Amino acid sequence: MIKHIVMWNIRGDTPLAKAAAIDKLKCSFDELRSLIPGIVHMEIGVDSSRIDYACDVVLYSEFESQAALDAYASHPEHLRVKQELADLRIARHQVDYAVTTN
């Protein structure tokens, strides 16, 4: 299994604009769950700490294999979402790692 974690800081001139951008991001990724094979689990979390060094949003997902994550990365629906959301983010951080089961 591969865990894929992405964190973003989101653009927004006002708290309302930032909240609307976060909602758009959440809805876009929620759509992908049923469209792309190999996704075992996917969730979006919005930061509630409001700490100045925290990211605004995190995507936590699990994939069956590295091949499934690679297929997700190049899937047309994922590429569409990435393009639609590109202007919403200020910063993006990512970690992918393999998990072995015993």
pLDDT for residue 45:
96
| Containing structural domain, residue 75 | 2-98
- The model's pTM is 0.90
Q: Compute how many other C-beta atoms are within 10 angstroms of the C-beta atom of residue 88.
A: 20
pLDDT for residue 98:
97
The pLDDT profile of the chain, 102 residues, written as one tens digit per residue, is: 999 999 999 999 999 999 999 999 999 999 998 999 999 999 999 999 989 999 999 999 999 999 999 999 999 999 999 999 999 999 999 999 999 876
38 Rama sector, left if φ>0, alpha if ψ -120 to 50, beta otherwise: left
Q: Which residues contact 10 (CB under 8 A, 6 or more apart)?
A: 18, 21, 22, 25, 56, 57, 88, 89, 90
Q: Which residues contact 73 (CB under 8 A, 6 or more apart)?
A: none
Instruction: State the CATH number of the domain containing residue 36.
Output: 3.30.70.100
pLDDT for residue 100:
86
pLDDT for residue 102:
65
Domain count, the chain: 1
